Each structure stands twice: as structure tokens, then as C-alpha cells.
Chains A and B, each alone.
Chain A
Amino acid sequence: MQALLDVDFEVRNGEVMALVGDNGAGKSTLIKCVAGIYSIDEGEILFKGEHVAIHGPKDAAKLGIEVVYQDLALADNLDVVQNMFLGRELHDFLFRLREAPMEQKTSEVLKSLAVTTIRSVRQPVATLSGGQRQSVAVARAVLWNNRVVFLDEPTAALGVAQTKQVLDLVRRLAEQGLAVVLVSHNLVDIFQVADRITVLRLGRNVGVYEKAKTNEQEIVEAITFGAPAPEEVVA
């Protein structure tokens, strides 16, 4: 089945790029291609201007591309530290876990992102609130010195206060120099944190909009009916 056709998408360091589109527009598919979950049939991925091949999650991770999924990809039974290092645990030559540096690093990263609501990094993730869980998932992206972070609907399941908490976190990621891609249905959220907005529709590009030069009305029209006249599109 063809989910994406002729899609161009870019994101720069230090910016929050929103990726929007109706259900079935291909947002999740696009993310999964870049993350190495799906392999692409055609097209190319440029990273820092160079061609790269991504065949699996490990390739993406090696490049510094991290995806924070809608369903979080956290293991409830493990604690915060264990989740932060899931699949990439620090170990010695005998494959013994090095808990102390992992815990230190986790605390440092949470502090650098001003995530202060988590009482103990040795708390199982099952006992955290939705916003805290999202924070852990986002912090994991930072922990690995990632350059590009995709956030898939990070605020979908959150209340007002927790949404603000997460959006602040998204802004801080960009301020730390990362390229942040925010996938969301919530235009209010997007206009709060995004610098630019890419609209997808039915697996194709509609256009890229600068937040400063557009409004919600225009974006809704682009999502629903597709591209306006080409000259309005900011490349």
C-alpha cells in the first residue's frame, strides 16, 4: 500500500517544526520511515547535508534521530533510569550493568530540562502521571545527545497543566539546539511552540508555513482542502 508520495520534509537545528495533517495524511508513516521502523521504497534522507541509509531503529539512533511515540514506548514495570537507557544500557565487558553512571546521567538530564516533578528516578514508570511519563520519554531523546527529535502527539492525552509542562519542555529542546518535529492535531499547541508548520494531505505535501506569516484559518484550509496558490507557499 502506498502511504506517502513525493513528500519533502525538512527541519533545522534549534527550531520546532510542526507536522500537521488529517488522519491518514501520512504523518505517522513519515516518522516511522525516518525512524527506521518502515523502510522507504524510494527517495532519500539527508542528514547534515549528507545521504544516509536508515534500515532499522539502530541506524536512526546512531545518527541521533529519536522518536517519542504517541504510545510512549515506555516499559511500565521499569523505573525512570531503566527506561531512559532501554536497549542502550551502559555495561562493562562482562555485560554487567553500570547503574551508578546511568542514574547520574538520568538525574542530570532531567535537571537540565527542568523536570522537577519526578520524586525519584528509581520510581517505576507505572507510578508516574501522564505528563511525567511524557517528560521521561522526551528526556530520553535528550539523553542520547540526539540532533533530531520527533514528538508524536505528545499532548494528546494530557490535561491543561500537564500540556503546558510538556510544551515548555518542547521549547527547551529547541533552545538546546536540537531540531524538533512536533506532530499534533492541536493547532493551539502548535501555534504556541512551533516556528514553522508543514502540512501533509493524503500522503502528499501541501506546503510549509512560517508561523509568523500564517494563521490557524490558513492551516485548517490547507489540511482540509490542500494547497492554495503556489506563491503563498514558503519553501
Chain B
Amino acid sequence: MSSAAPAEIQSVAEEQDGLIGIARARWEAIKSGDVGSLPVIIGIIAITLFFTSKNSLFFSAINFQNLIGQAAGVIVIAIGVVFVLLIGEIDLSIGYASAVAGVVVTELQVPASGHQYPGLVAIALALLTGAVIGLVQGSIIALIGVPSFVVTLAGLLICQGIVLKVLGFQGTLGIQDKQINDVSNYVLTKNTGWIVAIVFTVILAAAGFGSYFSRRRAGLPTGSLILTVIRVAFFGGLAFLAVHVCNKAQPNPGVPLVGLITLFLVVLGAYVASRTTFGRHVYAVGGNAEAARRGGINVKLIRILVFMISGTMAAMGGIILASRLNGINLDAGGGTLLLDSISAAVIGGVSLFGGRGRVSAALAGGLIIGMIANGIDLVGYTDAVKLITTGLILLAAVTLDTVARRRQAAAGR
């Protein structure tokens, strides 16, 4: 009992000390290696300050609106990457798998082609294509045991080949369908934007306070109510601020629909990962696959499902990117898309070794990468600077993660 008592006293003390106590506990946690989302927040502020000082347009409503559209594709693809990294695997096919989905959605809306479908049907079929790509790769990885690196490398080549094969003829294909073009180009009305912010904040509050009061009812340690209030107020406030800024953007004021889609997918992914049995099993497989198997978890099924999520999210990203360009060309899926998506997850704090990280990392890391690309374009630096900067930030993120993990392990023992 002797060693249990101090912990209890400590947690009581934390609750009584209010804000100062919370700040102190947080500082202790940071010192012992649990840095949380602090580096990302500092990173976003630093990037904003830097680029704004170089070009005041960076911190403008129109550029914020623009940034959402630019970053959405990478963020959505990165959601799938988070799940794959959580089980300790890698998916290199996401870039060109997204391009294949872009080709599918584009082809299926070509007027008078004999295979023209309504936009939403084309989108659904493109998503299905991504799921099937994931199913095939995941099955080879999980059932036969071929390393994911090789399977998805082959998938990368095959998908690139498919894109070349279909587009090689004309090289580019436009999208006329309104529904598909709306994905990246529609802007919500001002009032719809406010409703979105309200709904988001209510969901946030319901999740935060719901878990606080259910724990209290069960007589469990609850953490601090003030901290929950602060968290809800902070992220809810961010949502309202984002809507406010978007509603000021000229000439086309309002929150881009693609921003809402991205936010929805991040929240959905975060919910699945942290609150469902499937999500728990994903973490278990990434942490110790043998333990998971002995616990009765169907490890192979989890692996296949995760690659299907990755393929579907890549497809959604591909649709967003195609919609943004109002068409698809031979550049789709190439360039830095693959590495940007993986970097986004890693910069956001997802471990490459499995089992550690959150889905919100996709949003945070994707935003950082998007902001750098956006800012460097605005200031007029070259692509060389963009690549070197992104590389350095990736390196810093992984190094920080490694150091933090070591401190955490040392603090525990």
C-alpha cells in the first residue's frame, strides 16, 4: 500500500491546485518525455510567424481558404497512412493508388462514353477501387506473409502503369461533372459554416464531458474538469475562428466543402482508432502481434482491413486532388505525394515502428507540410528549398519522437 498512497495524494493535489496544478503536471509530463501535441502547435505558430514576416499575404483569409484546399488531399491520404503505421507496416502504393482512383472517377463521368455515371456513383466506385487495391495488397501481406514494403512497392509500380496505360493516349482528361468538381471547389454558405462550427464543438463537448461524467459515475479518477473545459473551448474556438476567417475570404467567401470532408474523415478515423474494439486491436497488433494473436484477435483480418482503409483513404485523396484540378493528368499520384503523406503522419507524431500515434497526426502533420509548401510558393523560394525544409522538419520530428520515447521509458522504471 505504501507506494500506492503517494500517487493518490498526488492526483488529488492536482485536482485541487486548479490551473497551476494542471500546468505543473503538464510540465512534469513534458519533462518525462510525454510531449503531446506541443511540438506541432509550436511548429504551426513558428511557420506562421516566419512566412507572415516574409509575405503578409500568408496570413490572409484567402490564403487560409486556399491552404485548406491544398492540404486536404495529403491529410486524407495520411489518415490511411496512420492506420498502416499503427500496425507497424508501410504502404508505398498510396500515391499512385490515389491516381488510379482519380482516373476511375474521371473516366466514369466522361459524357457519351458508354460508361458515364452520376458524379456520386463515380465517386463511390473510385472509393471501392481503392478498397479493392487495399484488399489485394493486404491479403498478400497478411495471408502469405510477403513484407508490406515489397508488396506495396509492386502495387506502386502497377498503379503507375495503370494510370499511364489509361491516360497515355491523350495524357490528360477533364472532369465536367458538377458533383465531382464540387468536392474540392464548392464553398459552403456563411451560415452553413457557422452550423458546422457549432456541431463540431457540440460533438467535442459531448465526447469530452461524456467520458468525464461516465468516469465520475463509475468512481474512477477523472482528471481535471477544468482541463476538459479548456480543451473543448480551445478546439471549438479554433473551429469558429477558421469559419470566421473563411467567411472573410474574397472573392468566394465561406468554408470549402473539402475542409468539412477532411475534418469529418479525421474525426471519424480518430473515433474508430480510439473508441472502438477494432481500433484497440489495431494498436495491439502494432504493439505486439503475437500477444494480440494469443489474446484471440484475428491479426490477419486486422491487417487486411487496415490496408483496405489505407487504399480507400488514398482513393478519397485522389478524388479530392482530381476534383481540385478539374481533371487528371500524368503527374497525378507522382511527385512528392507519397512521401508527403507518410511524412505528414510521422511529423504528427505517429511512430514508424507501430502501435504509437493518433489519427489527428494526419491533420497536424498535413497542415504543417501544406503550410510550408504554401508559404514557400508565396515567398517565391524554389522547390529545392521546399524539399530541404520538409526533409529537415521530418528529421526533427522523428528525432524528437525517439528522444521523447527514451525519456518516457526511463521515467517509468
Q: Which residues of A contact B (CB under 8 A)?
A: 35, 37, 57-58, 61, 67, 69, 71-78, 82-83, 86-89, 91, 94-97, 99-101, 103-104, 107, 116-117, 119-120, 123-124, 126-129
Contacts and interface: CB of A to CB of B under 8 A. Distances in A.
Contacts of B294: 35, 37, 57, 67, 69, 73, 87
Contacts of B7: 119-120
Nearest to B351: A77
B292 interface: yes
Given A103-B220, A119-B3, A127 B295 contact: no
Given A88-B296, A97-B277, A73 B218 contact: no
24 contacts: A57-B295, A73-B288, A73-B290, A75-B283, A75-B284, A75-B288, A78-B284, A86-B297, A87-B281, A87-B284, A88-B295, A89-B277, A97-B275, A100-B215, A107-B220, A116-B1, A117-B3, A117-B4, A119-B3, A119-B4, A123-B412, A126-B408, A126-B412, A127-B412
A86 B219 contact: no
Contacts of B186: none
A197 to B, nearest CB: 27
Contacts of A99: 211, 215
Nearest to A76: B287
B370 interface: no
Nearest to B281: A87
Interface in B189-221: 211, 214-215, 217-221
B276 interface: yes
Interface residues of B, number: 40
From B211, B280, B413, residue with most partner A Cβ within 10 Å: B280
Contact of A101 (B218, B409, B413): B218
B276 A104 contact: no
Contact of B284 (A86, A95, A103, A126): A86
B333 interface: no
Name A's interface SS: loop
A120 B29 CA distance: 14
B214 A77 contact: no
A86 B1 contact: no
A72 B291 CA distance: 8
Contacts of B300: none
From A58, A73, A87, residue with most partner B Cβ within 10 Å: A87
Nearest to A37: B294
A37 B280 CA distance: 23
B356 interface: yes
A189 B52 CA distance: 68
A77 B283 contact: yes
B412 A77 contact: no
Contacts of A123: 412
Interface in B1-43: 1-4, 7
Interface in B277-308: 277-278, 280-281, 283-284, 286-288, 290-297
Nearest to A115: B4
B296 A87 contact: yes
